Amino acid sequence: MEYQKENSIIEAMQLEFPEAAFTVKKARRIEVKLPSKRLYDFAVRMQKKWGFLHLSAISCVDWINDGEFELVYHFWNYDEKVLVMAKIRIPREKGDSHFETISNLWQPAKFFERDIHEMFGIYFDGSEDMEGFILTDWTGPPPMRKDFITREYALNFFHYREYEPQWLKDMMAAGEGNE
């Protein structure tokens, strides 16, 4: 039987999360779509009951036309060598872009959540630190949102300046750049 290991993992998970949609994407890869309110409970069981001890990533997708963000949690089980991608959707609206942290379960979640907060504007309730760490002097909107207009931002905040470094002028004068 193909995907025997994956299907047995799904069967165990479906008993506790019947509202979730499970799909075997390929060998050793399972996708789970579940309601956002169930993610924390799901994460606890992933770690404590089903042995998914490694959180390898949390990523974010901006579905601007749907008015939602999708958070994708990547859980790895070392014994079974299976990756589970748990996907949830949350409202995109600025005031509603809050979600519960899982950093008390996995320390790396602090970094991922902080990055998502900085790039998409999602706030993770219960997180110790939502301070920016890449865009420390940033004054604009979160730059990874699909409604962020890079060109407009650049025209408003940066001024064009002709740039020709001295080393390039010297090289051109010496005829070195003409080979």
CA–CA separation, 120 and 146 (whole Å): 9
What's the confidence (pLDDT) of residue 134? 85
What's the confidence (pLDDT) of residue 86? 98
**Domains of the chain, residue spans:** 4-174
Instruction: Kindly give the parts of the chain with pLDDT less than 70.
Output: 1, 94-96, 160-161, 176-179
CA–CA separation, 75 and 11 (whole Å): 17
CA proximity to 104, closest of 90, 84, 125, 122: 125
CA–CA separation, 21 and 155 (whole Å): 45
What's the confidence (pLDDT) of residue 51? 95
pTM: 0.83
What's the confidence (pLDDT) of residue 29? 97
Sheet containing 82-91: which strands, arranged edge to edge?
Answer: 21-26, 29-33, 82-91, 68-77, 54-63
What's the confidence (pLDDT) of residue 153? 81
CA–CA separation, 62 and 89 (whole Å): 10
What's the confidence (pLDDT) of residue 64? 94
| Strand ranges for 9-81 from DSSP E | 21-26, 29-33, 54-63, 68-77
Residues with Cβ < 8 Å from 105, sequence gap 6 or more? 43, 44, 47, 55
CATH class of this structure's domain 4-174: alpha beta
Give the model confidence (pLDDT) of 10-36 as tens digits.
999 999 999 999 999 999 999 999 999
User: What is the H or E stretch that residue 116 is in?
Assistant: helix 108-120
What is the overall mean pLDDT for the chain? 90
CA–CA separation, 45 and 40 (whole Å): 9
